[in-house]
Structures are given as C-alpha cells and as structure tokens.
Amino acid sequence: MDDVKSIEIIKYKNGNMNREEDIVVVEYPFTIFLNEKEFVTLLCSPKSLDYLAVGFLASEGIINSKEDIHKIVVDKEKGYGYVYTKDKSLILDKLYGKRIITSGCGKGSLFYNVVDAFKSKKIDSKIFINPNEIINLIKDFNVKSEVFRQTGGVHSCALCNSDRIILFEEDIGRHNALDKIVGMCLIEDIDLHDKIILTSGRISSEIVIKIAKIKIPVIVSRSAPTSLAIDIARELNITLIGFARGEKMNIYSN
C-alpha cells in the first residue's frame, strides 16, 4: 500500500475552475493486538508498521526493550499488527491504573500520567551541539520529506547526531512519526544517549515524555513547544529548541 494516492479534484484559481489530478496522503487505521487482545487503533501512514507498533508500546512504557518481545506479525491488508510478549503478566501490571487521554493528530489513545514524567530520572548526557550544526540539520531535514512535498499532509521526524540525519520517518501524525523512530531504534539496538530528535510538529508534553523515556537528550522542532513541554524538559535536563527556521531558533531549556 502506498503512502499517497491520486484523486480528481476541481481546482479554483483566479475565477476559473478546472478538473485536475491531485496527490493526497493516505490515512490508514492500524490496530495493534497485544498478546491476541485488541489494544489500540492508530490512524497513521501505511509504512514502517512494525516499527510503529513496537515504538508505540515502548513510548507508552508497555515494553522496555526488544527482549520483552517474542514475535511481531503485521497483516498490512487487514491493518492489523500483532505483538507477542515473553512475559504477559508484566504487561498487565504496567497497564493497571493508567488513564487514557485523547491526544489527536492522527493518534488514538495515549497511556500515560504527566506526574510520572517529573519522577523520571534526569537525563545525564555530555552531548554538545552548536547553532550552526542545528541550522544545517534542519536544512537537510526540510528537503527529505518527499510525501510532504507531494501532499503537504504529513509530519516528519528524524534521529540525528550532531552532523547528519541517521533515521527519517514521516506520518500523518507527529506522535506516530516519532514512535516509528523509537521502534526502529529499539529493534536495531541504536544507542540514543548522544542523539538528537528533529520534528516538524508542535512539541507537546507527550512528545517530551516519549523522548525522556528512551533517554534522548535533545529535541528540535520547526514549530512551537507548549508550556508543560518546557517545564518537563527543564525538569528532566532535556534541551528543547523550537522555531528552528532559517538562521533562527528559540532555546527553551539547557
């Protein structure tokens, strides 16, 4: 299944209406089953679905490492992803007492408690990055999203070191794009202590909590952060940079 599809539209311009072909992004419901039980449905782009399933579960604290996973099976035609864990009782314990909130932006439900973030261990990282390196990374980031250039309908997320983009994903949801990166890192055993996340979307508290759980020390966005995201970043020693556009950026923490 492709990330985009062609449809016929009527385009209005300068008083004239014409029939044209347009490229739109595909929105795809993806249901994750955890140990054969339906767990959550994410509205996403139909790519890197195995990484999305694992990344979602890891970001929400359901699994901690790939050693928790026994098997992953993705049925792309049905839109199903099956994740089997080695210790089923451990998963049930982690879900007990969690509350569910709606986060929107192409994502279904989110399992987390904001208070938990402030109890997390602060991130201890020796990474140093200068403004010119951020500017160069954002320039590379901006030209990488082919689907965005075609449709204008997706968010992008990348994992970087100080001089290059290592992983890149895009999705209709900014949370999903990050979860795909998280899942890939977990499955491929990528060390994250000196890495940077780039995102095209707003930095909310959920996004900062996700990167805090996997100990990434820096997050940069072309867009704005929320006040709670800034509070959590400062509390957990995460460098948060917003409005990274052209030669400008706002540094909100560290």
- Residue tagged 């098997």 (tokens): 71
The bridge status of strand 80-85 relative to strand 28-34 is: parallel
Annotated binding residue 201:
no
Q: Which of 211, 204, 250, 249 is nearest to 230 (CA)?
A: 204
Cβ neighbours, 10 Å, residue 249: 18
Annotated binding residue 243:
yes
Annotated binding residue 164:
no
Q: Are 174 and 156 in contact (CB under 8 A)?
A: no
Can you tell me the distance from the alpha carbon of 203 to that of 223, in angstroms, rounded to the nearest whole number? 7
Residues with active-site annotation:
105
Can you tell me the distance from the alpha carbon of 210 to that of 253, in angstroms, rounded to the nearest whole number? 17
Annotated binding residue 195:
no
Can you tell me the distance from the alpha carbon of 102 to that of 58, in angstroms, rounded to the nearest whole number? 18
Report how far apart, in Å, the C-alpha atoms of 140 and of each of 27, 156, 181 are: 26, 12, 17
Annotated binding residue 248:
yes
Residue type, 68: D
Binding-site positions read: 243-248
